[in-house]
Each structure stands twice: as structure tokens, then as C-alpha cells.
Amino acid sequence: MSSQTTPSPTIAKKQYHGTNSPWEAKIGYYRAIRRGPFIFVSGTTAVDLSSDTTSPKVLHPGDAKAQALISFKEIIKAIQALGARGAEDIVRTKMFVQRQEDCAAVAKAFTEVLGKQNGNGVGCAATMIVVGGFVDPDMLVEIECDAMVDGIE
């Protein structure tokens, strides 16, 4: 009887990306984590990265579309820092909106950045949920994204 050794699967290491977000510092999480070809981006809001942890400042209070656009910009920077090309590598987006009346504005921001009409492989699965509120009353939108890149590092 011969014995065969089954090779252990190679487990990809986690890579981390953090920003100067006062919320990341205050709570202790990362903006994004990559494991293998998968990138998971934490809920991202329009916060002033130069504000301190005792009093994080929300940008564009009252303007959900502007907050969504800033959030998408930060998300794309985060996935690129972990090896993604850009918006074309995003496969799923979850948008959490505080006020029902802001859904159209947030949807417009999504379409401008991630809508399939942008071509070049841009387009993803998406969900929008109206929620009761966020940790700061000036936050009108929080966005999570998942991305997938080619190859395993």
C-alpha cells in the first residue's frame, strides 16, 4: 500500500488598508481587507479625514448625493490600494440611506460612479436600504462594497 501526501492548500494572507478616518482610529477597524482575490470594504461615509476621534466631522451635511460621491471615491481608493484596478473590480454594493427622500440622489451618485452605462466592465450587484440612523445624525449615507481582483496574491 502506498501512501500519498495531499498537499495543503495555500491560504492567502490577509492584507489590510487603513485610512486617517477618525472612526477607524476610534473603533479599531480597517477601511478594507483583501484575502485572495476578494476585497471587502467597510461601511464608508463622508467624514473629514483630518478631524479628530473626539469629534469626527461629516462632510456636506444635508446633501446625500455629495456624501455618496465622497464615499464611492474613498472606496475606490481603498480597493486600488489593495490591488484592484478601480470601479470595474467592484462586484457588490450596499447603500444604507437615512432618509427615504434621499434614495433618488444616492441612486444618481451610484449610477454616475458604478452604473453599467459607464462601460469598461463597470457595473455590479447593488442593494439600497433605508435605515433608522447612523452614529452621527449628519451622516445621510453609508456604503459598503465588495470587489474581486484577478489572481491570488
Pairwise CA distance, residues 98 & 130, whole Å? 6
What range does the domain containing 72 cover?
A: 14-148
The answer to whether position 81 is within a domain reads: yes
Q: Can you give the pLDDT at residue 9?
A: 64
Asked whether residue 4 is domain-assigned, the answer is: no
What does the pLDDT read at residue 24?
86
Structure-derived torsion over alpha carbons of residues 56, 40, 105, 19, reported in degrees to the nearest 10: 30
Q: Provide block-wise average pLDDT over 10 residues at a time, the chain (153 residues).
A: 58 89 88 96 93 87 98 97 96 98 98 89 94 95 96 53
Q: Is residue 54 in a domain?
A: yes
Distance between CA atoms of 141 and 102, rounded to whole angstroms? 9
Instruction: Tell me how many domains the chain contains.
Output: 1
What is the model's pLDDT at position 3?
54
- For residue 31, tell me if it sits in a domain: yes
Residue 6 lies in a domain: no
**50 belongs to a structural domain:** yes
Q: How far is CA 56 from the centre of its chain?
A: 19
For the whole prediction, is pTM greater than 0.85?
Answer: yes
Residue 153 resides in a domain: no
At 98, phi and psi to the nearest 5?
A: -75, -40
Cell numbers that stand for 46 in this block:
463622508
Nearest to 43 by CA among 61, 68, 65: 68
In a domain, 1, yes or no: no
Question: What CATH number did the domain enclosing 54 receive?
Answer: 3.30.1330.40
pLDDT at 4: 61
The conformational region for residue 72 under phi > 0 = left, psi -120 to 50 = alpha, else beta, is alpha
